[in-house]
Structure formats: structure tokens, C-alpha cells
Structure 1
């Protein structure tokens, strides 16, 4: 063992072994499909150790034994929440929103649009979708957005719809006026999504690797961005097949910049940069 590794171990609050990491890796894969590689050990230790403190356990083994034996759904959710990554921003990968606006304009004003944002995180992505739709159709336009995530804590933030102004730098001044209420006094520096825009969104918890999804819709568009990178190939294929079933004929799937599904040509054809069409 190198001296810097030994120093790191001595500084840790809880003992940490390869068996602990392998067990956590197995459990999060079983429950959320997340495939953790060896380079994630420091992240896993940091995040799961918070659960040890919160639940009063003095070792990872004791905590994991309790987690598996108790079958407490709330703690399982906290475990999953601890190990999910939520990196997002308004109008991230902006070419997707440019393409969505084009599709909506060409689709005509009378069409009812159904869109699913399958990794809503803290809300920046689904609200970016809603702003794009409202820009094209107006706040009274006929569109509805389903916004889901496996992490219950980030969904609470998304449902509140309150952001620091610095988080809204990609939102134009006109969009900020139309779709947000700026805070005053104690809320100076914050902005809240207007109810007129928020009414188009529905937030709910959904695990993409669950055997059954709480959805019975046919969507025009699905955003599933920067999610598949956490899944192994078999899980990716399973989720893609289920997304395919929920899209209308020739529906559109927007994916993340690091995701490529060229080996799923029987399900989706590439239509543009990280934009796929249902086969």
C-alpha cells in the first residue's frame, strides 16, 4: 500500500474495505441499474458514510446488514438518493431545444404534445422543455410534460421551481420576464417558475430499471439524457426497448452527448446529433 493510500485510510471516519464497495456496487445495480466502476470508491465512501451517521451505524457492514434485513423502503430510497448523480442546467445541450422548437412549429398549432423528461433532476431540464414549448405555443398551448427521476430529494427541488438567478444565465431576459417571478426582500436573488408554466408539468418518482413503469401514455418526445452512461449494455438495451414502446410512430428520443445507440438500429435511427427517431 502506498503511503498516500495509508494516510487516506487513517483519515477516514469508518473502516472501508473492497468487500464493502463490492456489496454497495451490487446493491445499487440491483435497485437502480447503476453500474459503478472502481474509480468511484471515494465518491461511494463519502456519500454512503452520511447514511451511516444518519442511521447511527458504526460500520458499512452493520449499515448494509440492517438495510438488507429491514427492507425499509424509505432507507432504500435514501440509499439510492445518495448514489445518484445530478448534474444539470437550464438549456444544457441547447441544440436539442432548437430542434424541439422546430418540430413544434412544423407540427402545427392544433396538436396536443406529450413529452416525457425521464431524468428531471432538480428541474432545469423539464422547465427548459416547458419554456421551449411555451415560446412556440404560448402559455395556454396544448402541451403536457411528465418529469420523473429516481431521486426523491431532487424532485422536491424541481417541484418547488425556485432557482438562484445565477442558475438562470442561459435563460434569456425575455424568458425570465415571461416565465419567472423574481424574488424581493428576503428572496432577493431568487426566481420562481410562474404557475402558468408550472401547470404543464407533472413530477413523479420513477426508477427506469423497475419491471413496471407508472406510465400508460404514447409520447411524441422523450428526453433520456446522460442516464444510460450509468447502465451496462444489457440494462441500456432493456430501457431502450421500453422507451421505444412508449414513443408514438416516428417519435423523437433526445439523449446525452456521451451516449451512442448505433447498436440499437432496430429500435432507433440517428436523425441528428444525439437525436434519434423511433423505427
Structure 2
């Protein structure tokens, strides 16, 4: 799993059940009689077969304004930041089907002036090409836009005439605020031209064992600007220990000044 999907789950009965439940649909589609048979096929399979494995394994629940306290914090930060500085870089490092980066973009749009928004860069990444494609296209069903107000739906989405369940598409001006790109958090090095002011890495560390979590957190911390912020999922932040970071509140960390270490 690590080589193919960058997933390094601790080996226990709970995670074994999780993996089997997520892969059972693929096994049935290909009519494999066992997981071992599927694994042999997967190791020698095409890129599309391996991509299907990644999609099945890493699919996660997401929604607009999930864990909303982070976005309340973001709005306050945006106002304070642009009183002093004139540019901002945000990285959503596990963007899934796009609800999180578009939520970030909505907060930016609703909080800042047009001239300020022009100096905000939002990068959204994921290992899964299929979810990135969905995210970049910006199509969502009615069930997938829960968390938004009626006013936000009218302002940021076009309702399409579809038979059956309504379909909504993120309006061009909001989609253009987000750049989508494939990225594997298990990469040996994170190579960006410039560091980020804010990094979102929420509800993805659950896929990694303790050693891998430490390695990912270290690389994320090194991707931050001085005084930059790292936001984790509320259920993931309990045991985060890194000399580069200080905890500010639930699941929000700030990069320390170099003299603060030790």
C-alpha cells in the first residue's frame, strides 16, 4: 500500500477491516476470489488499475465548512494578515473532491476586497487523480453541497438543469481562485518555490502510522513561512510533537521562530 498509494496504516484488526471494506467493490467488479489474487494483479497492473486502487483506498468523507471553527479562525486571520502584508499563500494538502479548498476560497472571497484577493494563492493537492479531476471541474450534487447557506449556493454555484437530482457547479470566478495539482504527502522532499502562510492537512494523518505522521508533520512544518500556520483535523492533533511548531488551539499550530526552539 505504501509504494502504490503513500498509505501506511498501522497494522491492526480495525484497519484491516477498513481496507477490506474499501476494496470489496473493486474485487467484485473484477470478480477476484480473494484479496491475495487482487494484490498480484495490482502489482503488475496498468497505471489506471493502480489509480483505481488509490481512489478506492483513500476515499474520505468531506463537506463544505467541515470543522467550521477552522474557517472562523481563517476569516479572522485574513483580516489581520492584510492589515500588515499584501500577499498570502495557502496550501490545502489533501483536497479530496474539492469541498475544502473551495471553502477556503469562499472565506477569502467573503472576507477580502477584490484587490486583496488578487494577491492570494490557493494550491490544492491530492494523491488521487480521480478526485482531483472532480474537484477541478467543480460539479456537486445537492447532497454534496451541505454546509453551505442558501446565499452562498446562489452566489458561488450555478444550478444546472438535470433530470432527477439537481446538479451544481462552482462558478468560474471561484474555481479560478484554486489551482489543483497531484501531490503525494509521502514524497521524500516537499519542493515548492516559496513557503506557505497556511497549510491545511486535515483528516489524512489517520492513514499513517506514528513514524510516518512525524515525518509528514516535519516536512509540512518546513513548508511554512516563519510564523506560518498548520491546521490539522480535530481528531488528529492530540499527540503532535514537533520542535518547529507550537500549539495555539485545537488542531491549529504555528511555526516557531528559530530562537524559540529548545
1:104 aligns with 2:81: no
Corresponding residue SS for 2:168: strand
Change (3 A) 1:186 1:214: farther
Computing the radius of gyration over CA atoms, which structure comes out larger, 1 or 2?
1
Between stretches 28-37 and 160-169, larger displacement belongs to: 28-37
| Greater relative CO, 1 or 2 (CA 8 Å, sep 6+) | 2
**Cα pair 1:226 1:255 within 8 Å, conserved:** yes
Q: CA deviation at 1:262?
A: 5.0
The verdict on how the C-alpha distance between 1:170 and 1:58 changes in structure 2, with shifts beyond 3 A counting, is closer
Aligned partner of 1:197 in structure 2 is 174
Distance 2:217 2:238 in 1: 9
- 1:86 has 2:60 as partner: yes
Q: Where in structure 1 are there 5+ consecutive unaligned residues?
A: 1-26
When normalised by structure 1's length, the TM-score is 0.81
Where do 5+ consecutive residues of structure 2 fail to align?
257-262
Aligned length: 252
> 235-244 or 30-39, which moves further after superposition?
30-39
Report if the CA contact (8 A) 1:91-1:128 is conserved: yes
Question: Segments of 4+ in structure 1 off by > 6 A?
Answer: none
- What secondary structure, in the 3-state scheme, does the structure 1 residue paired with 2:131 have? helix
Q: Structure 1 residue 144: deviation in Å?
A: 1.6
Q: How does 1:189-268 map to 2 (within 5 A)?
A: 189-213=166-190, 215-260=192-237, 262-268=239-245
RMSD of the TM alignment (CA)?
2.4
Which structure shows the higher helix fraction? 1
Q: Give the corresponding residue for 1:137.
A: 112
Shift of 1:28: 4.2
Aligned match of 1:7: none
8 A Cα contact 1:123 1:158, kept in partner: yes
Between the aligned partners of 1:105 and 1:35, the Cα distance in structure 2 is: 39
- SS, match of residue 107 in structure 2: helix
| Residue deviations 1:44-64 (CA, integer Å, cap 9, x gap) | 334334334444644433332
* CA deviation after TM superposition for structure 1 residue 31, in Å: 4.0
Counterpart-to-counterpart distance in 1, 2:238 and 2:162: 49
